[in-house]
Copies of this chain bind each other. A is one copy, B any other.
Amino acid sequence: MAIDNPFYSPEAQGPYELHSIGRFELEDGGVIPDLQLAVATYGELNEDKSNAILIPTWFSGTHQTWEQVYIGPGRALDPEKYFIIVVNQIGNGLSTSPHNTDDESIAMSKFPKVRIGDDVRAQEQLLRERFGIERLALVVGGSMGAQQTWEWAVRFPEKVLRAAPIAGTAQNTPHDFLFAKTLLDAITSDPGFNAGEYSSPADVAEGLGRHADIWAVMGLSTDFWKTEFWRGVPPVTEGQSWDTFEEFQEQFLRALFRMMDPNALLAMGWKWQRGDVARNAGGDLKEALGRVTAKTFVMPIDSDMFFPPRDSQAEQQLTPGSELRVLHSIAGHFALFGFEESYLAEVDQHLSELLAADVET
């Protein structure tokens, strides 16, 4: 293992299992000789395998937020009713990633380019081979998880009965590409990054801090900061407290991103920038979205600064039988963290309705 990073451990992230799906050829030409997917499951698969829900993860995220914030008895994502499988995306630090692979041919700066379509193909293989799941009651994900959700619905329409992309688009926009670029450049411009061959994330602390600062601007919202909403955000680790927005920024986002692996963020960021279901249809977005047969609720967040409702609505209108369900939050894109009960109640209401909807099977 190139770097032992305690942030990427069951102790920090909650339990998960590694499943190998073997040699995996990537769309951009690279190969992962032994692809390990970090998987967390909740609940039991029923006999006819009709109660499976798949959740792919977002940029910098893991299964943990889903477990802590979205999944639970009585919730829409109820492990007493469903078999919920959260698959950590390739390169996220838990699944095979630049810093955690034993294979020197793909370690650190040599990690190959991975696309959204690679994750979805790998997940499909995992579900089929490991769990015998051929059909999903629901695919739901936020942000890059929404990108994967869209990709699933377009690429494997016969396998996806319902889809709920939250705060993420089927085709990434130029604005999003440029935004992600500022995040990635904040890291690579740090001399400590050393072209990807740093010895520890601490070498890149300044770049990771600038990365976190750009998130503070684009990931949250003017009102989140103006109303000092952060005063009510619970501490990440014991003993934390913040009396000013700058203390919050230092202890929350900067501290969080400084625990992460820079190459993992870069691998995910490159993937995020290029998410595009139209790749399945020769560049024709309308044709690609026209393939969707899942009952789909498109769920942007009203205050999201980089996946705004306008962009999601345009895609929803190209998706047969879909509905637009706008979520409300003061926290911008980072509403996904679940700061607000009202936001979570909205998510649960929409997902419950979607899961109750009759679909052709």
Contact = CB atoms under 8 A, between A and B. Distances in A.
Interface of A: 173-179, 181-182, 185-186, 189-191, 206-207, 210, 213-214, 216-218, 220-226, 228, 245, 249, 305-306, 308, 310-311
Contact of A181 (B190, B213, B222): B213
B223 A310 contact: yes
A216 B178 CA distance: 7
A246 B189 CA distance: 19
Contacts of A310: 222-223
Nearest to A221: B175
Contacts of A305: 305
Q: Which of A174, A220, A311 has the most CB of B within 10 A?
A: A174
A207 to B, nearest CB: 8
Contact of A213 (B178, B190, B220, B311): B178
A216 B306 CA distance: 12
14 contacts: A174-B225, A174-B226, A174-B228, A175-B224, A175-B225, A175-B226, A177-B245, A178-B225, A182-B210, A182-B213, A189-B189, A189-B190, A189-B210, A223-B310
A173 B226 contact: yes
Given A175-B222, A189-B206, A217-B218, 15 more contacts: A173-B226, A175-B217, A175-B220, A175-B226, A178-B213, A178-B216, A178-B245, A178-B249, A179-B217, A182-B217, A186-B186, A214-B214, A218-B218, A222-B306, A222-B311
A223 B182 CA distance: 18
Contacts of A185: 210, 213
B182 A222 contact: no
A355 B8 CA distance: 62
A142 B173 CA distance: 28
